[in-house]
Chains A and B, each alone.
Chain A
Amino acid sequence: METIKKLIRKQSLEKLYATLSASRKVYAPVVAADKRVEYKYNPAYAEVTFEHIQSTLSVKNVVFPKVENLMYYTNNKVDSTITDIDLTKIPEVVLWGSHPCDNSAYDVLKSIFCWDIKDEFFAKRLEKLVVIGLACHQSDAYCFCTSVGLTPNSTKGSDILLSKTKSGDYIAEILTEKGNAIVTASPDLFENANNEEAVIAEVKQTFNHEQVTEKLKTAFEHPFWVANSLRCIGCGACAYVCPTCACFDIQDEAKGKEGRRYRSWDSCGFGLFTLHTSGHNPREVQSQRWRQRIMHKFSYMPDRNESLGCVGCGRCSRGCPVDMNISEQLQGLQNI
């Protein structure tokens, strides 16, 4: 549909939140006791933050939960009974106040989960998701969305995108039918937009992702990888905070005869990720695992999924205990 621009006053925003959270699950950012920003279901409006630069964890969990049950089973003497998950019970979730980088990540995830065979769990959750995004009016040194083809007010992935104006009200860009449904349900909260100007953060471009992708084609054996990953300690923090990392592990967990199969996040940074039963590990050392992470996002995915595997949120660099700064590394790769 064609984008409609409206204005929503600060006070009306609170009313909109109240209306939405009365009938649906609203997943919104709050500031935790230790100053981290985390998303919670239906927090009180007073708790909801509009000033966050970035939450510690991404919000991919609304479509790709940390742990997701795939089926239940009961082992009988001769065979097993399988109980499927009732996907119709997946609730509608309104994602509130997530930034454009996070919102554009759903397309990236979709290019993986719905690549050839449609992942029903993912697709259903995405179908039930309504995104009310919030354009960034501030950024920090780790943000690099402009380097991966996005902007602090990209509308990609949002159903409604809010942008803060100088007066503290919000411009609402209504982008999809889902978004429009919310507006039509509370028409008196929205006003016609005049020429209000939004405050948008400035994010400096640090590298050109097309050049990086080009360079990576021949960089597999480059000494860059070892030299720049010596300090990587091989934890999974970068993958687990990433909005586009989609690797998962599938496990069966049984208690007696009853059990369930679930999938949970995994990370290519772990040595165990590629370890074969024979004891052979094709990615034996950390530099190879780090290379895989960068290659996958900036070379393999543009090649196979026609989408870049990075949205420039900078969470991996903020969360890294040893400052493996991804935008710095990509600048380095551009210049090798």
Chain B
Amino acid sequence: MSDFEPKVVAFVCNWCTYAGADLTGTSRIKYATNVKIIRFPCTGRIDFMLLLKSFANGADGIIISGCHPNDCHYTSGNFHAKRRWIMFKELMDFMGIDMKRITYSWVSAAEGARWAEVVNTTVARVRELGPYVSYQKMVNTHIEEEVTNE
């Protein structure tokens, strides 16, 4: 699968990572174009269902990124997010959904180069894993599949 271009969705916080990604651009640092960035007010506001929706809709990898601990614009949003991700990761692991496809990171507004690196490593890793067909193929399966007229 040499011509496989992974689709990676990045859910980032407005105050740190989004600004950091801006800095990557203004610093003219080149990085993988496979990433589609979605801006959130805060990592604490990123619902885990969005990750599942992304996978179901064709994402091969996901990046979630926000302010470093203690740097949250709203004081504690990222701490809440951290707890949620810990539980989510454990559940995903238990259900056999590959956590190698999801990158969690803290990237501040000053870390433009770091953002490029986070994206590049994620894209490289997902490229290696290939398209996430095992999740996507579930979308159209139901028991009646065999008698439907699709």
Contacts and interface: CB of A to CB of B under 8 A. Distances in A.
Contact of A68 (B143, B144, B146): B144
A274 to B, nearest CB: 26
B136 to A, nearest CB: 12
B148 interface: yes
A90 B146 contact: no
Nearest to A87: B149
B57 A66 contact: no
Contacts of B146: 25, 41
A89 interface: yes
A68 B57 contact: no
Interface residues of A, number: 18
A89 B150 CA distance: 9
A186 interface: no
Interface in A40-91: 41, 61-62, 65-69, 85-87, 89-91
Given A65-B144, A66-B144, A67-B142, A85 B149 contact: yes
Contacts, number: 31
A255 B57 CA distance: 8
Nearest to B139: A255
Contacts of A93: 147
Contacts of B148: 65, 67-69
Contact of A90 (B57, B142, B149): B149
Contacts of B143: 61, 66
Interface string B104-144: 00000000000000000000000000000000000000111
13 contacts: A25-B146, A41-B147, A65-B148, A66-B143, A67-B144, A67-B148, A68-B148, A69-B150, A85-B149, A86-B149, A91-B147, A93-B147, A125-B147
